[in-house]
Structure 1
Amino acid sequence: MIPRAASVCLFFAALAYGADAVTAHPPAGKLQGRLEGQVRVFKGIPYAMPPVGAARWKPPIAMPRWTGVRNAAEFGPACHQPQAKLSNIYARDPMPMSEDCLTLNIWTPANARRAPVFLWIHGGSLTGGSSREEMYNGARLAERGLVVVSVNYRLGVLGWLAHPELSAESADGVSGNYGLLDQIEALRWVRRNIGAFGGDAGNVTLAGESAGALSILYLMASPAAQGLFSKAIAESAYMITTPELKTGRFGLPSAEESGTRLAAALHATNLAALRAMDGAELSAKAPAAGFGPWGAIDGHVLKRQLVDVFDRGEQARVPLLAGFNSGEIRSLRSLAPPAPADAAVYEGAIREHYADLASEFLRLYPATNLEESILATTRDALYGWTAQRLARKHTALGVPAFLYFFDHGYPATDSAGLHAFHASELPFVFGTFDGTPQNWPKIPPTPVETGLSDAMMSYWSTFARTGRPAAAKQPGWPQFNAAGAYLSFTDAPHAAEHLLPGMYELNEQVVCRRRAEGLTPWNWNAGLWSPKLPAQTAECQ
């Protein structure tokens, strides 16, 4: 029974919201949200205490139970981040931002009972983005029976700074990874509370794209996240070199050294001076000073390099759906070098950089179409190799893995040279054609587009429900196997085998040699930007 005082609060809240008011009573505290069609929506729910003041750069603290009824009708502010240039294809209008940003949002079917949970982690290079983005509206997936949760986590310098003074004040002697710890705390909140929204805490699928998918890999690798989810979806993930907390390796400074350099660039003489700086100012100045937000291999939250975790079979052994887009780099051209003057210059550079692997490289990425070969080189080194590696390593453990290749374009993308660009699958996954950013090529609501979206939402939803993607009246999605089975999304889904033959083997050999030498990172420096490849070693046969 609801206490009289709470009943009065709910009565007046219902008057203010009208007939669309809905309530939830999780252990965290009572919430007032909205009914939108047949979906209950609760926004801006705090899952951790505000990480401000002395709590800046500390692990998140679980939010205590609140009293009364909390308004959950509006999104919480985004975490601090630099303002994006509005000419960027991904940029949106300015949004409210704060350090007090550790909130999540829930879309749940009105009659949900032990429904599968789909927890979305947004992308944005660990520097930008927010769970409030319209493209991530979970209503359409909720209409398919999922409880959808989207999460904010600390970004940029506020989420990923490591520093010797921070490590010294930590009981575990570590620092950095605060954004990752936020994601883990959100998972713990879901474990404790999602049942009150009709969700099944024992059936949680983690999903993310780009930096959100990198976060999925971090969570699959982190001992602290084990047991908090039962499936994983990684869209355009990248298994990059990760800085180690205290030791420079693979050509990277240690994470603590990067933090020390940043403090010096900001003229902050100690940790207290950094904590005294305004959060918005820090977020704006850190990238300009050369700070890049990444996880840190600290032996605690992240025990070892992602490649090593998956080689050793230490990742979470949960069903996995992973893939990438054919045009990843078409909207991320700063990640690829410009084309050289002519084919001869290109071939000469590749033979110099890739030595005994040059002939195979030029077979896969020939000089006959320099621009396309350069775009494909970076795409495969970052995203294609990662997706196949995830599927292969999981399959080797006997854990189901499902690979996809998104190769769909429509008039606005193809006329702009953006066929199947990075993140272009997202409006199809969420069914949010009307929620894309202002410069995004507009998706026409034709039968082809809506049919493809319907199929993708079905595949993603059934995977979250059962661990096996399926869609009515669509091809079966084969489990990844020795033949390299995958599902391709063009104008419609179709099953195929042996995606981009030779691509994985070449990039795996390159990465193996760089790991063995230990002097250069992998993935960011492919093709014309590659340093000279180390010679083959016995471990890279």
Structure 2
Amino acid sequence: MSVTTVSTADGDIRGVRSGPVVYWRSIPYAAPPVGDLRFRAPRPVTPWTGVRDATTFGYASIQNRSGAVLGYRKYQPTSEDCLTLNVTAPARPASSPRPVLVFIHGGGYLMGTSAMGLYSGKHLVPRGDVVLVSMNYRLGVLGYVDFSSFGTTDRPFESNLGLRDQIAALEWVQRNIAAFGGDPNNVTIFGESAGAHAVTALLATPAAHGLFHRAIAESAPGDWEMNREDAAHWARECIDALGATPADAVSALTEADPHELRRAAFRAFRDCVLSSPGFFPMVPVIDGELLPKSPLDAIADGTASRVPLIIGTNRDEGALFARYLDVMPTTVERLRRVFAVTDPEAHQRIAATYERHAEPRASVRLGGDLMFWRPTIAVCESHSQHAPTYNYRFDFTTTVLRRMRLGATHAAEMLPVFGIKNEPMEFGITAAGGRRGFRQVSNAMQSHWLNFARYGRPLPSWPKYELPQRKTFIFDNPTRVVSDLERDRREAWQSYKGNYADLWSRPGGGGE
């Protein structure tokens, strides 16, 4: 290993070389949001003198320890001082500025960290000759609860803090990425799950326009948002769970230990999910300021960033939740409750499109499509009217994943996108066969993602999503293109009148 020093706008940092790449870890892109900066928009970094060590990871965002898992019995420490990002770049010199990929991790806006080994880019970066940036942002109660209605003139609180953090990270990229060999005029944002929703939110956020030039959303729950009224109601529930009243909200929120805040908000979150399966209340807020309208509405009316977009889902999205994370409407009873409060007349019509295909575990497939495929198709239908749009579905699975009743489940596409060749994870999921197929699918996904990052389009074998053909690229072994995939289901979901906010059964009103 050899050490590499780079000069940024805030000071010099020292990274470390490992094989064909150089890593710089936990570089601050905003001031620590502590003390008077808790619940405030990110502020500039205080420049430093000397050389700052960036060879090891610092802190993950405040969350339950299990969310920041890095390996077997290995967890990243958490802190409010978490507004940092990481850069991975090829070690060899560049003849010209390299495309930049900025990754936003998922985790339901509750958990996750950019320090996860999969996100290092050690396979993707040298193959594509690109620069990879991954970021931390505030999660849970500190990033995605809008306490602005409880602030005062002396101690204001601001909304959409996690989204503001992501914008601050993208601004850092514009100021600094050239020092790492990256091209600030060729930035692709990409994310998975909540990170994919963040991509759609950034498309719809005027303050983010011009900070990126292409976007990739993998399994985006595209209509995850709240209006201001519901957000204030939810903030009140968090304050109640903290044992405070609106009169002493400011002191309670500013003086509480961050983990005390997290635990209180999680109690309220748990009660919410139990009463409203599929509703995650810690999401961006349509505040009329930073986020003027819902991402789906902004994409539909053309006010979102008109940049090339790859967006897609996995065939078995719901399987992971049914097997391990019991928070989604993936049972017959939960789906009945969901349709009862959103669009009762649609239940039979939509369910029939799954039953007529003799779909095994139809409720699991339907629940996953409700959360992910339904809003993804809505984005494709709209964004394709304004900018090049490419839709995919990830279908590849292995014998091991089938035996685990996961199949091509939520987040499974992340393994081939980042690459796990010759790593324990690859050996594990292909232990009963499928390694050659997995590597072929990984090669295809990386080739398309990297070509898109460099030129704004995937390889020629992947056509645009355009009406009326509605072509979708299927990542399987072999890959293929399908016109109007699952047409009957698409048409049934497009006539569905429900929306995400309808899922919330608010105490004392609304819902069931």
TM range (shorter): 0.7 to 0.9
Between the aligned partners of 1:382 and 1:55, the Cα distance in structure 2 is 34
Q: For residue 276 of structure 1, what is the aligned residue in structure 2?
A: 255
**CA shift digits 1:376-403 (9 cap, x unpaired):** 2112222112222222111112x10000
CA contact (8 A) 1:32 1:42 kept: yes
**Is 1:296 the equivalent of 2:296?**
no
Q: Which letter maps to 2:472?
A: Y
Between the aligned partners of 1:523 and 1:408, the Cα distance in structure 2 is 31
Q: For residue 11 of structure 1, what is the aligned residue in structure 2?
A: none
Between the aligned partners of 2:17 and 2:140, the Cα distance in structure 1 is 34
Q: For residue 158 of structure 1, what is the aligned residue in structure 2?
A: 142
Between the aligned partners of 1:307 and 1:522, the Cα distance in structure 2 is 16
**Structure 1 residue 208, shift from structure 2 partner:** 0.2
Classify 1:153/1:166 alpha carbon distance in 2 versus 1 (closer, same or farther; 3 Å).
farther
Q: For residue 28 of structure 2, what is the aligned residue in structure 1?
A: 46
SS at match of 1:64: coil
SS at match of 2:17: strand
Between the aligned partners of 1:49 and 1:354, the Cα distance in structure 2 is 45
Q: Which letter maps to 2:402?
A: D
**Is 1:67 the equivalent of 2:49?**
yes
Between the aligned partners of 2:308 and 2:207, the Cα distance in structure 1 is 19
Partner of residue 338 from structure 1, selected from 331, 340, 346: 331
Q: For residue 137 of structure 1, what is the aligned residue in structure 2?
A: 120
**CA shift digits 1:312-367 (9 cap, x unpaired):** 11111000000000111101123124347xxxxx99x9899966545632431217
Between the aligned partners of 1:289 and 1:57, the Cα distance in structure 2 is 19
Classify 1:134/1:418 alpha carbon distance in 2 versus 1 (closer, same or farther; 3 Å).
same
Between the aligned partners of 1:371 and 1:204, the Cα distance in structure 2 is 41
**Is 1:125 the equivalent of 2:114?**
no
CA contact (8 A) 1:233 1:322 kept: yes
Partner of residue 464 from structure 2, selected from 454, 476, 479: 479
Which of 357-366 and 308-317 deviates more?
A: 357-366
**Is 1:116 the equivalent of 2:88?**
no
Between the aligned partners of 1:129 and 1:438, the Cα distance in structure 2 is 21
Identity of paired residues, percent? Answer: 33
**Structure 1 residue 410, shift from structure 2 partner:** 0.7
**CA shift digits 1:123-165 (9 cap, x unpaired):** 0000000000111111222101110000000000011221245
SS at match of 2:452: helix
Q: For residue 501 of structure 2, what is the aligned residue in structure 1?
A: 521
Between the aligned partners of 1:353 and 1:59, the Cα distance in structure 2 is 34
**Structure 1 residue 264, shift from structure 2 partner:** 2.1
**Structure 1 residue 514, shift from structure 2 partner:** 3.7
Aligned pair count? 486
Between the aligned partners of 2:7 and 2:316, the Cα distance in structure 1 is 45
Between the aligned partners of 2:112 and 2:424, the Cα distance in structure 1 is 13
Q: Which letter maps to 2:375?
A: T
Classify 1:392/1:476 alpha carbon distance in 2 versus 1 (closer, same or farther; 3 Å).
same
**Is 1:392 the equivalent of 2:372?**
no
Q: For residue 94 of structure 1, what is the aligned residue in structure 2?
A: 75
Q: Which letter maps to 1:209?
A: E
**Structure 1 residue 491, shift from structure 2 partner:** 2.0
Mind listing any 5+ residue stretches in structure 1 that lack a counterpart? Answer: 1-18, 248-253, 341-345, 526-530, 533-541
Q: Which letter maps to 1:157?
A: V
Classify 1:350/1:216 alpha carbon distance in 2 versus 1 (closer, same or farther; 3 Å).
closer
Q: For residue 224 of structure 1, what is the aligned residue in structure 2?
A: 207
Q: Which letter maps to 1:314?
A: T
CA contact (8 A) 1:46 1:104 kept: yes
**Is 1:55 the equivalent of 2:34?**
no
CA contact (8 A) 1:205 1:464 kept: yes
SS at match of 2:470: coil
**CA shift digits 1:453-507 (9 cap, x unpaired):** 122111111111111112xxxx711111120111101123222211111222222
What are the residue-to-residue correspondences of 1:301-340 with 2, within 5 Å? 301-333=290-322, 334=326, 335-339=328-332
Question: CA-atom RMSD, angstroms?
Answer: 3.2
Q: For residue 376 of structure 1, what is the aligned residue in structure 2?
A: 365
Between the aligned partners of 2:354 and 2:504, the Cα distance in structure 1 is 17
CA contact (8 A) 2:426 2:435 kept: no
Between the aligned partners of 1:259 and 1:434, the Cα distance in structure 2 is 46
Mind listing any 5+ residue stretches in structure 2 that lack a counterpart? Answer: 273-280, 506-510
Q: Under a length normalisation based on structure 1, what TM-score does the superposition of the two structures give?
A: 0.82
CA contact (8 A) 2:26 2:86 kept: yes
Q: Which letter maps to 2:420?
A: T
CA contact (8 A) 2:350 2:493 kept: no
Classify 1:524/1:365 alpha carbon distance in 2 versus 1 (closer, same or farther; 3 Å).
farther
Between the aligned partners of 1:163 and 1:212, the Cα distance in structure 2 is 22
CA contact (8 A) 2:226 2:501 kept: no
**Structure 1 residue 287, shift from structure 2 partner:** 0.9
SS at match of 2:184: strand
Q: Which letter maps to 2:266?
A: P
CA contact (8 A) 1:367 1:373 kept: no
Q: Which letter maps to 2:202?
A: L
CA contact (8 A) 1:91 1:439 kept: no
Classify 1:103/1:363 alpha carbon distance in 2 versus 1 (closer, same or farther; 3 Å).
same
CA contact (8 A) 1:154 1:178 kept: yes
SS at match of 1:463: helix
**CA shift digits 1:500-523 (9 cap, x unpaired):** 11222222221xx346xxxx8357
Q: For residue 207 of structure 1, what is the aligned residue in structure 2?
A: 190
Q: For residue 478 of structure 2, what is the aligned residue in structure 1?
A: 492
Q: Which letter maps to 2:241?
A: A
Classify 1:169/1:437 alpha carbon distance in 2 versus 1 (closer, same or farther; 3 Å).
farther
Between the aligned partners of 2:112 and 2:340, the Cα distance in structure 1 is 40
CA contact (8 A) 2:343 2:498 kept: no
Partner of residue 79 from structure 1, selected from 35, 40, 61: 61
Q: For residue 107 of structure 1, what is the aligned residue in structure 2?
A: 88
What are the residue-to-residue correspondences of 1:384-423 with 2, within 5 Å? 384-397=373-386, 399-423=387-411
Q: Under a length normalisation based on structure 2, what TM-score does the superposition of the two structures give?
A: 0.87
